[in-house]
């Protein structure tokens, strides 16, 4: 089948090699770009993949990125997705991963706001002892819509999955999150857990959460949890003692989220998307503060 994406590509990482430079998928949402990427990570190989989707234009566009990864036996795959788009734009962000025996998949996602963003992640732990960590940090404000669907299917024996979502919603943002741990028949000895923590700041926020565990095997452990609320009174008292108002405290949480995104952006495109969104939300001075601290850390490391 021919891909519809203009820049579709296929990358193969040879067995037992370490690819030093990340595979970068940069999607300019201002241009409504669409990317379709397939990565075959052969046995024992290690690779980092970065998807950076961002734009600033007022023009309404639709963009998308589809990333498909096959991680063979013992492969190590790290996927970082940073998405921050204009308020009139919509972006569809999809990742599908199949992990064979002893493969390890790390998915780090940053949804940093913008019109409508749909994050779809499907991880199949097909092999025995395969592991997946999926972590999403999100921020949505204004009239942003964020729709997240995380699915981890644990098919092999003794597989382990951790799914964490952590976000902030402000103004009239709407978020729907479905997170599914599916312990398939035969996945004996597997453990899956999922947890979401949401801070709600805006009066008109709509937060929907549906954490699902499907369990068709007895010798497994499945857990999930969700906490939805605002800054707790104890935390507020602590911060008030230090001269911070509620607004100051909320701003601290937002700053921490963007700082994390900027610090952990593994290459220039992802970094630019995170900084641009930080500028929009927190102002240029704060955003470049983060940047300066990143630079300082890099200099020290050098």
Choosing from 221, 235, 245, 295, the residue that interacts with other proteins (CB under 8 A) is: 221
Judge residue 6's burial from the number of C-beta atoms within 10 Å of its C-beta, 0-12 exposed, 13-18 middle, 19 or more buried. Answer: exposed
C-alpha–C-alpha distance, residues 196 and 209, integer Å: 8
Provide the minimum distance between the beta carbon of 218 and other proteins in the complex, in angstroms, as a whole number.
4
- The minimum distance between CB 286 and other proteins, in angstroms, equals 23
Of 61 and 158, which has the nearer Cβ to other proteins?
A: 158
Q: Which of 20, 21, 218, 300 binds other proteins (CB under 8 A)?
A: 218
Residue 240 is a binding residue for other proteins (CB under 8 A)? no
- Tell me which stretch binds other proteins (CB under 8 A): 25-33, 106-114, 220-228, 267-275: 220-228
- For residues 214, 217, 221, 227, the Cα torsion angle rounded to the nearest 10 degrees is 10
Q: Which is nearer to other proteins, 9 or 208 (CB)?
A: 208
Rule CB under 8 A: say whether 235 interacts with other proteins: no
Closer to other proteins by Cβ: residue 74 or 211: 211
* CA–CA gap between residue 261 and residue 257 (Å, rounded): 6
Establish if 28 lies at the interface with other proteins (CB under 8 A). Answer: no
Phi-psi region of 272 (alpha: psi -120 to 50; beta: other; left: phi over 0): alpha
Q: Which of 61, 94, 207, 277 binds other proteins (CB under 8 A)?
A: 207
Contact window for other proteins (CB under 8 A) among 3-11, 52-60, 131-139, 223-231: 223-231
**78 touches other proteins by CB under 8 A:** no
Closest CB to other proteins among 5 and 236? 236
Residue 109 to residue 179: CA distance in whole angstroms? 14
- Is 246 near other proteins (CB under 8 A)? no
Interaction between residue 245 and other proteins (CB under 8 A): no
217 binds other proteins (CB under 8 A): yes
> Please, what is the minimum distance in Å from the beta carbon of residue 142 to other proteins?
15
Using CB under 8 A, pick the residue from 212, 239, 244, 251 that binds other proteins: 212
User: In this chain, which of 229, 245, 293, 296 binds other proteins, going by CB under 8 A?
Assistant: 229
Interaction of residue 281 with other proteins, rule CB under 8 A: no
Q: Does 209 help bind other proteins (rule: CB under 8 A)?
A: yes
CA distance 93 to 279: 22
Pick the binder of other proteins from 5, 122, 213, 239 (CB under 8 A): 213
Nearest-approach distance from CB 211 to other proteins, in angstroms = 6
The residues binding other proteins (CB under 8 A) are 183, 185, 188, 198, 200-230
């Amino acid at each position: 089948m021919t891909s519809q994406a203009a820049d579709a590509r296929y990358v193969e990482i040879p067995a037992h090699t370490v690819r030093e430079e990340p595979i970068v998928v940069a999607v300019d949402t201002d241009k409504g770009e669409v990317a379709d990427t397939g990565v075959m990570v052969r046995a024992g190989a290690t690779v980092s993949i970065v998807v950076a989707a961002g734009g600033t234009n007022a023009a309404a566009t639709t963009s998308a990125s589809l990333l498909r990864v096959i991680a063979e036996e013992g492969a190590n795959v790290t996927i970082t997705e940073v998405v921050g788009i204009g308020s009139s734009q919509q972006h569809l962000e999809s990742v599908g991963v199949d992990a064979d025996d002893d493969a390890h998949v790390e998915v780090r996602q940053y949804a940093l706001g913008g019109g409508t963003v749909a994050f779809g992640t499907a991880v199949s732990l097909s092999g025995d002892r395969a592991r997946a960590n999926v972590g999403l940090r999100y921020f949505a404000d204004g009239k942003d819509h964020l729709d997240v669907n995380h699915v981890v299917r644990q098919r092999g024996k003794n597989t382990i999955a951790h799914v964490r979502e952590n976000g902030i919603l402000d103004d009239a943002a709407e978020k729907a999150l479905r997170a599914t741990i599916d312990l398939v028949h035969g996945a004996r000895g597997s453990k899956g857990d999922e947890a979401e923590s949401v801070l709600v700041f805006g009066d008109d926020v709509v937060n929907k959460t549906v954490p699902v565990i499907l369990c068709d095997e007895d010798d497994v452990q499945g857990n999930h949890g969700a906490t939805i609320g605002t800054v707790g009174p104890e935390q507020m008292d602590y911060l008030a003692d230090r001269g911070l108002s509620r607004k100051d405290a909320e701003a601290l949480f937002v700053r921490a989220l963007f700082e994390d995104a900027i610090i952990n952006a593994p290459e220039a495109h992802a970094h630019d998307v995170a900084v641009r969104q930080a500028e929009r939300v927190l102002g240029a001075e704060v955003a470049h503060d983060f940047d300066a601290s990143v630079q300082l850390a890099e200099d020290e490391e050098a």
